[in-house]
Structure 1
Amino acid sequence: MASLWSPPVTQEADLTGQLFISLLNPGIGLLFAGAFFLMWLNRRERYIAYAAGAYVATACAFLIQDLAPVLPMELQRLPANAGFLLTGVLFAAAIIQRYGLPVPWRAMALTAAASLAVFVWFLLGRPSIEGRIYSISLGTGIVALMVVRALWPIDKPHLIDRLLFWVAALCAANLIVRPIVILTFSGGFADYQGFQQSVYWTTVQFSQAMVSVMAAISLMVAVAVDMLAELRAEAQADPLSGLLNRRGFEATANAALRRCDGDGRVAALLIADLDHFKRVNDRYGHAVGDAIITAFGEIVRREGPADMIAGRIGGEEFAVLIPGAGITAARQLAEAIRAGLSATCAGRIPPALTPTASFGLAASTPGAGLSALLRQADQALYDAKRAGRDRVRAFAAPAPAPPLSASA
């Protein structure tokens, strides 16, 4: 009968496996730190730098925890766990800063300081591995909950926004619930060697690796989404006026009109044309013409409602769509722009030059698209020009033809 035999597990194999596990989290941390650093070099956003710093901190913390030489009274644990706390603080700051929210630095610093103070007590005053675990895990978990609290009330329009929120919630659960559950069922540790060989430390190594990867990938996707949005905004923006260009205006206005139509709301369109603009350029130069365009964009942004869609759709032609508004609101905006244009240009153009603009208005009808609305507003604009320029005209639909009388 053949005997079953398996080779003995050598001490060298044990050490190799343990070393591999010990290098797993530092390797992941340094990899993501490098990736975020390269992103920061390209984008120079503060929250990306915070993320890079967080992964440097976690890599250093794991290296000190697992590979640093043992100091008297295990004092090497102090910088290692300070690194874990710093990781939580910096990553929390990265997510919160990404949304332009105020980072609760003071609350996070106080939480980290209290957590570290309790850790020192359980390290030097009343040594307890379990006490040290709870002090650091609960401290970093509370910091993660600060992210959940900060993101809870804000809108999350994209999938990545919701994912970042749930990643923060998962981090908090992993840091708070996991230690309580595992230590309750597995018991304590007689010494640090037993701790490193425990189920708890194995779950720390692998769960932390998984959460780190998930958090890093989520934030990287968020960075990519921000970069795409920035590129899209640049592609749709007119740098001179600060408004949308024609492509950006048409795309945004069409979407707004569809929403208005679906909600049963009206919308008003304003078209403006700078009077005698070619003559201004020929006589005073393009720098003066550019100054007038810049001033026109400024007064539109200043006087217009927050939900308007405004764009420069031609060399000296502008369009403003006001969702939920009628001709009266459009006329008020047009008159405010017309009356304030000269004052807005003051100091930028020759005093003898008084720029003016003509305006055409139109109101949407159910089912009518942007093209039809532009044609109507354009017709009203030509009426304003024919009437002498520097005035506002609204489109008037032609009266329906009278019905033909029946012949006897």
Structure 2
Amino acid sequence: MPGSLFILLLNPGISLLLALAFYLLWHGRRDHGYVLVAAAGHLATALGFLVQDVMPPLPLELQRIPSNALFLLAGVLLMGSLLGHYRLPVPWRSFSVMGGLGLAALSYFLLVQPDLNYRIFSISFALAAIAFLTVFELRRTGRVNLVDRLLLWACILTGTNFLIRPIAIIWMEGGYTDYVGFQQSLYWTTVQFSQSLVSIILALCLMIAIAQDLIFQLQTDARTDTLSGVLNRRGFEDVATALLARHEAPLALLLADLDHFKQINDHHGHMAGDAVISGFGRILLDMAPAGAVKGRIGGEEFALLVPVPTPETALALAGALRERMATPLDASIPHTTVSIGVTMAGPGDRLDSLLQRADKALYRAKRAGRNRVSLHRPTPRQEAAC
């Protein structure tokens, strides 16, 4: 293969491979639509280079219009996919205006007042504007981990490439008058290699971000109880232990057990029992204050580790949970109540000792007739039921 043909096929080849990679990623996780948008962006890039550099030229270089339209579409789709990754609203209208102005300027300097240099500036500046608008939107995420910074800097690199490179090279070379010998020019060479480099950097950064999100989702799924929506026992123990280790303010542990749950399963079936579990999980998610750790640690047993200033505050929260559960959840869900044991965390308390104390208070609430809240105190005589 001649060297010039290899260079001509370099960008479309890379872009087609990236399009295939993102399509396969999307095919495995179709709920991530932005991945398919990224695949479409790289496909548009490949088609743009094929139309511009490989297909036979048209009269008046008219192939430059569809090829650059594809480049602008690719820029819009690729930047949109980055914003979609963060679930940010994509400014499609602004992107379209920028792309439309760039294509209109290119058409003017191709058909009305031919000027190759201005054609280069028209498309390059439009792509730079799209990239820098994306940078502005990404800064609003507030996320500052390494992968997020890589994506942000990849966008900055993309915009800078389209803004500075054409100005610098055209100034160095004194400009271009026509396409004769253009494929041997410094500008054409830098387009070929800088575009492949930018495409690979953007794609790798986005793939790393997707992989990071997938790992986080797997970790979340591994410690989340899918029925109730709160943490499972392992997840609760991990997060609660970490909170106990770092939290200096008072903490309370609430241990809740659904009353007569076995009878619900026996008389109404396990689907009804599952509905009750799910309903109480929603109550915890709705009523637990910020910073609380919520978990289902047994069949019908739930735990809540929550920052509270006083035991009275903990009792008030437990009482509110009990009263909410005492109200029927739904006409289709069997009604039941909840008993709750409460204990306060002292200096150096471990989670297992808190669970033991809360379990004693819970046992007292059950023994007192269920649908009760009981607070564990240092001595049995100080333990109160309400």
Alignment check: 8 A CA contact 1:57 1:87 kept: yes
Match of 2:311 among 309, 314, 327: 327
Residue in structure 1 matched with residue 229 of structure 2 by the alignment? 242
Whole-Å separation in 1 of the counterparts to 2:291 and 2:16 = 44
Aligned letter for 1:356?
T
CA 1:99–1:259: 2 relative to 1, 3 Å = farther
Shift of 1:176: 1.0
**Could you tell me which amino acid in structure 1 is paired with residue 371 of structure 2?**
D
| 1:100 partner SS | coil
What secondary structure is seen at the aligned counterpart in 1 of 2:155? Answer: helix
Pairwise CA distance, 1:72: 1.2
* Residue number among 178, 194, 200 corresponding to 2:181 in the alignment: 194
Q: TM-score, normalised by structure 2?
A: 0.93
Paired residue for 2:295? 311
CA distance in 2, matches of 1:371, 1:193: 80
The answer to whether the Cα contact below 8 Å between 1:358 and 1:385 also exists between their aligned partners in 2 is yes
Distance, in Å, in 2 between the alignment partners of 1:147 and 1:325 is: 44
Whole-Å separation in 1 of the counterparts to 2:195 and 2:309: 53
CA distance in 2, matches of 1:310, 1:396: 22
Cα distance in 1, alignment partners of residues 278 and 366 from structure 2: 22
Which residue in the other structure is 2:87 paired with?
100
Give the TM-score normalised by structure 1: 0.88
Which of 371, 374, 378 is matched with 1:393 structurally? 374
- Name the SS for the 2:327 alignment partner: helix
Letter in 2 for 1:313: I
Query: Is 1:17 the equivalent of 2:3?
Result: yes
1:62 aligns with 2:43: no
Corresponding residue SS for 1:358:
strand
Equivalent of 1:177 in 141, 160, 164: 164
Q: Does the CA-based 8 Å contact 2:280-2:325 persist in structure 1? A: yes
Q: Give 1:157 shift.
A: 4.8
- The answer to whether the 8 A contact 1:252-1:309 is kept is yes
CA shift at 1:341, angstroms?
1.5
1:232 Cα offset (Å): 1.9
Match of residue 141, structure 2, among 129, 146, 154: 154
1:165/1:328 CA distance change after superposition, 3 Å: farther
Partner of 2:256: 272
Pick closer, same or farther for the CA change 1:348–1:170 going to 2, 3 Å: same
Report which of the two structures shows the higher radius of gyration computed on alpha carbons.
1
8 A Cα contact 1:291 1:345, kept in partner: no
Cα gap change, 1:372 to 1:180, in 2 (>3 Å): farther
- Percent identity reads 48
Where do residues 54-133 of structure 1 align in structure 2 (5 Å cutoff)? Answer: 54-133=41-120
Task: Give the SS at the match of 2:6.
Answer: helix
Q: Distance in 2 between matches of 1:320 and 1:157?
A: 30
Q: CA 1:68/1:326 → structure 2, altered by over 3 Å: closer, same or farther?
A: farther
State the SS of the aligned residue for 1:359: strand
C-alpha separation between the residues in 2 aligned to 1:159 and 1:300?
34
| 2:383 alignment counterpart | none
Query: Bigger CA drift: 167-176 or 32-41?
Result: 167-176
Residue in structure 1 matched with residue 207 of structure 2 by the alignment: 220
Q: 1:98 and 1:270 mapped to 2: Cα distance?
A: 37
Q: Is the 8 A contact 1:299 1:344 kept in 2?
A: no
Q: Which residue of 1 aligns with 2:272?
A: 288
| Residue correspondences, number | 379
**Structure 1 residues 35 and 325, CA, compared in 2 at 3 Å: closer, same or farther?**
farther
For residues 323 and 148 of structure 1, what CA distance do their matches in structure 2 show?
38
CA contact (8 A) 1:257 1:323 kept: no
Q: Is the 8 A contact 2:326 2:338 kept in 1?
A: no
- Alpha-carbon contact 2:253-2:343 (below 8 Å) kept: yes
Q: Is 1:136 aligned with 2:117?
A: no
Q: Please state how far the C-alpha of 1:250 moved relative to its aligned partner.
A: 1.5
Determine the C-alpha separation between the residues in 1 that align with 2:150 and 2:328.
Answer: 45
Match of 1:50 in 2: 37
- C-alpha distance 248-194 of structure 1, shift in aligned 2 (>3 A): same
CA contact (8 A) 2:170 2:176 kept: no
CA distance in 2: counterparts of 1:372 and 1:188, whole angstroms: 78
Picking from 317, 336, 345, the partner of 2:320 is 336
Matched, 1:36 2:22: yes
**CA, structure 1 residues 161+258, in 2 after alignment: closer, same or farther (shift >3 Å)?**
farther
**Structure 1 range deviating more: 95-104 or 371-380:** 371-380
**1:8 match:** none
Report how far residue 177 of structure 1 moved. Answer: 1.6
Amino acid across the alignment from 2:154: V
Partner Cα separation in structure 1 for residue 55 and residue 160 of structure 2: 29
CA drift at 1:133: 1.1
Residue pair 1:357, 1:390 contacting (<8 A) in 2 also: yes
Q: Which amino acid aligns with 2:3?
A: G
Once the two structures are TM-superposed, the CA of residue 114 in structure 1 deviates from its matched residue by 0.8
- 8 A contact 1:268–1:361 mirrored in 2: yes
Report how far residue 204 of structure 1 moved: 1.2
- Judging changes above 3 Å, is the alpha-carbon distance between structure 1 residues 28 and 297 closer, same or farther for their aligned structure 2 residues? same
